[in-house]
Structure 1
């Protein structure tokens, strides 16, 4: 199966990811209490999510994965969706973030996930990591196979040294990592975007959590 962007990703980061088998990570995630569904393409995953959520309030995290999948547009036709990437006239980014945090459903990606099941996210405003932990009836994690690492230490390394620098560069912030997007410099910059870290060792006690694994490289 041909994966979009695979060779560019392998060349840039030197990773040896060739058609990951999801059996192990799916088994481990189910044992930790998550619902898990796997899809070959982002389009198939987007259609599935769109079919599962109807007439709900839905919060979106800041995510290039969700942006690429077009989920905001499809879900907005039959749900009330709040995303600070799409700010309605008369509202502020803060307004939309608060509405997203109060929604029944929350959708996010991750910065790193271990095959053993640990889920790692790094955040600047921390609205995303706060929403992941508590307050919604259901949380969806939408994850491309490029986010998967062999263990917790590797997932944490990925979040800090791959995902965060690439996001900093995309946002155009003035941090050392944004210059080459090569690694975390543990800087003290006023524009630093890695200010809060969340780790789920297993599914929280309240609410439903569903993990969508996709056989494509998506987001950072």
Structure 2
């Protein structure tokens, strides 16, 4: 992704009252993240292959914080449900992004709402980590990316019995396994200090 495109996106996000920081390398992003972790913080996360690829889940487990770890082994359905609710009162909530437009609009898709809901409201701070592969031109491209790239891959990863896992694109199904239930578009915020976008050079997530 060229420098001019990233600068354009950062300016657009700023106009929407959302701060964005660009990191050329994974190490620089991780170092920034470590510098912002203070003891006893409560940190929650949404499902995110990006966070996993960067190594943030393992980092959080080793840190002196209260990590609401929904990915730990042998977690029960009841325990996970409680963590979903606890995310709303976390100090920091981490998530990826499905698509982000050059106009500074942030698009996400969710199956049960446990990821997009805390992004919008609840946690004191939200850090959205986004590989530059998620940058698209406009709203139509964002929806297309979600329907024909992100959602089919995620549904297949989760072993969902949906048509898109076979065709590789959205079939607008009504399957009970459908993960395309909640679309959100963030195009601004009242508290300009709450949501922050961390842009990372490279292909992360899907």
**Alignment-derived partner of residue 201 in structure 1:** 187
The 5 A counterparts of 1:1-220 are 21-55=5-39, 56-76=41-61, 77-86=63-72, 92-180=79-167, 182-205=168-191, 208-220=194-206
- The SS at the match of 1:66 is helix
- Structure 1, residues 76-122: CA drift from partner, whole Å, max 9, x if none? 31211113222576762212222223212111111110011110101
Taking a change above 3 Å as real, the CA distance of residues 88 and 207 of structure 1, as seen in their structure-2 partners, is farther
Which whole-Å CA distance do the structure 1 matches of 2:72 and 2:142 have between them?
29
Which whole-Å CA distance do the structure 2 matches of 1:89 and 1:211 have between them?
30
Gaps of 5+ in 2: none
- The SS at the match of 1:92 is helix
Deviation of 1:25 after TM superposition, in Å, equals 0.2
- The SS at the match of 1:86 is coil
Which whole-Å CA distance do the structure 1 matches of 2:4 and 2:73 have between them?
37
Deviation of 1:207 after TM superposition, in Å, equals 5.6
- Structure 1, residues 135-182: CA drift from partner, whole Å, max 9, x if none? 1111101000110001122112212221111100111110001124x2
- The SS at the match of 2:90 is coil
Which whole-Å CA distance do the structure 2 matches of 1:88 and 1:48 have between them?
31
Taking a change above 3 Å as real, the CA distance of residues 103 and 172 of structure 1, as seen in their structure-2 partners, is same
- Structure 1, residues 9-42: CA drift from partner, whole Å, max 9, x if none? xxxxxxxx67774110011111211121111122
Aligned residues: 203
Taking a change above 3 Å as real, the CA distance of residues 209 and 148 of structure 1, as seen in their structure-2 partners, is same
Instruction: Assess if the C-alpha contact under 8 Å between 1:137 and 1:207 holds in 2.
Output: no
Q: TM-score, normalised by structure 1?
A: 0.85
- Alignment RMSD (CA, Å): 2.0
Gaps of 5+ in 1: 1-16
